[in-house]
Amino acid sequence: MDQLSQLRRFGLFDAKVPRYTSYPPATRFSNDVTGDTYANWIRAIPQGRRVSVYIHVPFCRRLCWFCACRTQGMRTDKPVRAYLATLKQEIDSIARLLPPGVVVSRIHWGGGTPTLLGPDMMTDLARTLHSAFPVADDAEFSVEIDPNEIDAARMDALAAAGMNRASIGVQDFNPEIQQIIGRLQTYEVTRDAVEGLRARGITSLNADILFGLPKQSPARISDTVQMLLTLAPDRVALYGYAHVPWMAKRQAMIPTETLPKPEERLALFDTARRLFMWDGYADIGIDHFARPDDALARAQSTGHLRRNFQGYTDDSCDVLLGLGASSISRFPQGYAQNASGTADYQRAVRGGDLATGRGHVFKDQDRLRARMIEALMCDFRVDTAELLRDFTVTAATLDALYTQAVNAFPGMVRTDANGLEILPEGKPLTRMIARLFDAYDMHAAGHSSAI
Ligand SMILES: C[S@@+](CC[C@H](N)C(=O)[O-])C[C@H]1O[C@@H](n2cnc3c(N)ncnc32)[C@H](O)[C@@H]1O
Ligand code: SF4
């Protein structure tokens, strides 16, 4: 049987599964985690520990129809200034709870579109962070950049604030596709943003592109990849377009009949993947590519690749503090998510409370299963000796889990004395295989297609 028939037989083209940027996925979070839980987890961070900070800016000047991110449109700066004031208040509250000596080693601004902040607002936010938290001299500071929403003054402000990595939204260069997905962005605009950032010393650039977009064909995605390669990004995220109009209402603007079929999505991914590999990029996990000298590729080759809410990372911190509406914080004890709605978030913070809305407290086998799923998503294998060393679990329990995977996906995974491994032909099934180790019920409607 050819690989396509096998993948079809295993249900790849029909399944809806989580992307496993966390375990359990955020759709399983509950009201168990309150502001008090969150405060206690912050107070319990060991002195001297390095932590990461994520700041969410949930605004865009215009909303792209394809986008499933937590964001909202704005016409004037007024709501953004009000939000910034709230963020600064939240930063102060968190800083007061942090034990002495905790150092911030990573900062990421995401969205929405953090670059719609004016230069003065960017400087203000960065200064507030630096005065509230001790930030390491070698800290990594990355920002999601919309090339349509950046100019010299804002790039200067970000560079002066210490930004040393940038992530650029590209999606696809084809004008017809851009029209259908409601995001017009010329190659020249993208190139100018890349050149402007490099001229300001930003040495590490990531670009996001999508496969599975309406009217995308192998020839069109090849053109997009070739054009992107002329900009020589250090990393690329090649995400599958998630069409979930029941959750992201603006996607109703995209006619369903223009979307490629699941089999075609796989062909689009493979086409793009081959081009990146030919150009010397290393493939990272299920959907990223990196230059071999990039930190992400080094993390993968040394077994230090991790997966978090932003996708793949070499960030090894076990604490991530998520600030802003809908942001998720991660601790060794569990996850805490801020209220999703901007108004709810602002009301809580202005009232002097933490904005925690929900989350998850790790229990039973959660940490073990989280490690297994992360290992599969990062390394396509799980290591028995490591699990026996780090968790209270028996070899027999692990063997039973492995056998379940081998029985469900014969010929796609194999197990031996070292553990479980996904074979190269089984890699497109990785999220489905990971799902076997997920102990929680799942509502398929909350997730995107497996390919
Ligand atoms: C939160 S957006 C922020 C980027 C920035 N505002 C911009 O537009 O360039 C980050 C990335 O999420 C990805 N994304 C958004 N909606 C998506 C969807 N429906 N399916 C898959 N990826 C999506 C896009 O690749 C986008 O670049
Ligand atoms: S892709 Fe970026 S600019 Fe477009 S709506 Fe989403 S967050 Fe906003």
Query: Does the C-beta of 146 come closer than 6 Å to ligand 1?
Result: yes
- CA–CA–CA angle 334, 331, 116 (5° rounding): 110
Q: How far is CA 79 from CA 56, 76, 351, 430, in A?
A: 14, 7, 18, 41
Alpha-carbon distance 172 to 185, whole Å?
9
8 A C-beta contact, residue 373 and residue 434: yes
Tens digit of each residue's pLDDT, the chain (451 residues): 688 899 999 999 999 999 999 999 999 999 999 999 999 999 999 999 999 999 999 999 999 999 999 999 999 999 999 999 999 999 999 999 999 999 999 999 999 999 999 999 999 999 999 999 999 999 999 999 999 999 999 999 999 999 999 999 999 999 999 999 999 999 999 999 999 999 999 989 999 999 999 999 999 999 999 999 999 999 999 999 999 999 999 999 999 999 999 999 999 999 999 999 999 999 999 999 999 999 999 999 999 999 998 899 999 999 999 999 999 999 999 999 999 999 999 999 999 999 999 999 999 899 999 999 999 999 999 999 999 999 999 999 999 999 999 999 999 999 999 999 999 999 999 999 999 999 998 776 567 788 8
User: Among candidates 237, 241, 240, which has minimal Cα distance to 288?
Assistant: 237
Which ligand is nearest the CA of 265, by number?
A: 1
At 444 the pLDDT is: 60
Distance 324 CA to ligand 1 centre (A): 18
Size (the chain), residues:
451
Write the pLDDT tens digit of every residue in 98-143: 999 999 999 999 999 999 999 999 999 999 999 999 999 999 999 9
Distance 236 CA to ligand 2 centre (A): 17
Distance 267 CA to ligand 2 centre (A): 26
At 448 the pLDDT is: 78
Per-residue b/e over 56-90, b at no fewer than 16 CB within 10 Å? bbbbbeebbbbbebbbeebeeeebbeebbebbbeb
Query: Does the C-beta of 245 come closer than 6 Å to ligand 1?
Result: no
